[in-house]
Amino acid sequence: MVAKTLALVLTCTAFFCHVTASLEDLTIRQVTEDGLPNLLGTHTERKFRVFMSDYGKSYSTREEYVHRLGIFAKNVLKAAEHQMMDPTAVHGVTRFSDLTEEEFTKMYTGLADVQTGHGGVVGAEAPKLEVKGLPKDFDWREKGAVTEVKDQGSCGSCWAFSTTGAVEGANFVSTGELVSLSEQQLVDCDKACDPKDKKACDDGCGGGLMTNAYEYLKEAGGLEEEKSYPYTGKRGQCKFDPRKVAVKVANFTSIPLDEDQITARLVHHGPLSVGINAVFMQTYIGGVSCPLICSKKRLNHGVLLVGYGSKGFSILRLSNKPYWIIKNSWGKKWGDNGYYKLCRGHDMCGINSMVSAVVTQV
């Protein structure tokens, strides 16, 4: 723990040195016609080349290289802004640092835009549970209910990964078996629409909703295993075979907009699908994210709530904060080994607004 903390401190320190140099670059370099400074030959370009090497990036033309360098410089400044607004986390250069916010949102999130009356969640509302006596810390990973972190690639299919994660967890709670299920089936075959907002439909890499996916699974008869219908990262022809169904969905419920109820439902019934605002996730490296400002209404990313902790160490504030443990779908090299820690108790980034639980058939 000490070694990891020191590593994060060093990362943060190095990043701020880089930000200072980048700010100097942006201040003293001549500004070109497109409004961007001439960054060639600067400290920022040297850091950009390190970024390219670290993440295996390449660009087909000189023009594209210069274009991405400009975006990278802006994202370095954005990460510095995020660090100031979210001091309990560590923000910096990530594999998304050469993407505009629009590109990042389109390629790596994918929650359909839906009117969020009651969290944008359909289905029966779950009955209220007793919240007394809940454990201070809880993690479904330790109990074997969570599969390895997966990677949606440059496909707006987060909703499919959130859905399979919830179904995998519910199936584990019911049967004691952990089975990795097929996101590709949802990407290829699911075209269900929200009954309250007919424009919010599941559309492969173009986005979708977890509750739509539950409805599709009820009608289709269930989900195949990942190994029988593997992920490709792009939409293709539907190849669903009902004879290969591994898990069937019986029903699903929405969870009241109450973090105590979300906590109780998580502990007693398994991992939960949630929608959040991913604005701070583009630059997130580690720590407990607790931004000073994060819109609760601009939900654009579907993830999986798997647990919570009572004390998440803050690098910069040298204190502890309670947090949610969130499984993401950007691979193990992103964030905290593929996970995001978001502070509890504040409806941070809309974490309470779109929460659903699924029930599987035994």
User: 349 φ, ψ to 5°?
Assistant: 55, 30
Q: How far apart are CA 252 and CA 175, in angstroms?
A: 17
Q: How far apart are CA 303 and CA 152, in angstroms?
A: 11
Q: Is 209:187 a contact under the CB 8 Å cutoff? A: no
* Mean pLDDT confidence for 267-271: 96
Q: How confident is the model at residue 47 (pLDDT cuts 50, 70, 90)?
A: very high
Q: How many CB atoms lie within 10 A of CB 65?
A: 18
Q: Is 71:99 a contact under the CB 8 Å cutoff? A: yes
The catalytic residues are 158, 301, 328
3-state secondary structure of 31: strand
Instruction: Using the predicted structure, report yes or no on whether residue 5 has a pLDDT greater than 70.
Output: no
Greater confidence, 169 or 195? 169
3-state secondary structure of 259: helix
Position 130 scores a pLDDT of 83
Interval 156-194: pLDDT, tens:
999 999 999 999 999 999 999 999 999 999 999 999 998
Plot region of 176 (φ>0 → left; ψ -120 to 50 → alpha; else → beta): left
Instruction: Using the predicted structure, report yes or no on whether residue 6 has a pLDDT greater than 90.
Output: no
* Mean pLDDT confidence for 42-62: 95
**Portions of the chain given CATH number 3.90.70.10:** 106-361
Q: How confident is the model at residue 36 (pLDDT cuts 50, 70, 90)?
A: low
- How much of the chain exceeds pLDDT 70, in percent? 85
Q: How far apart are CA 79 and CA 263, in angstroms?
A: 31
Position 118 scores a pLDDT of 41
Instruction: Using the predicted structure, report yes or no on whether residue 362 has a pLDDT greater than 70.
Output: yes
Lowest mean pLDDT among 80-84, 195-199, 204-208: 195-199
Interval 320-334: pLDDT, tens:
679 999 999 999 999
Position 257 scores a pLDDT of 85
Q: How confident is the model at residue 120 (pLDDT cuts 50, 70, 90)?
A: very low
CATH of 106-361, one of 3.90.70.10, 3.30.750.200, 3.40.50.1480, 3.40.50.880: 3.90.70.10
Dihedral (CA of 71, 76, 80, 86) sign = positive
Greater confidence, 131 or 313? 131
Q: Is 236 exposed, middle or buried (0-12, 13-18, 19+ CB in 10 A)?
A: exposed
* Mean pLDDT confidence for 221-240: 97
Q: How far apart are CA 160 and CA 205, in angstroms?
A: 9
Alpha-helical regions (H) of the chain: 2-28, 43-55, 62-85, 101-108, 158-175, 183-189, 210-220, 259-269
Greater confidence, 334 or 16? 334
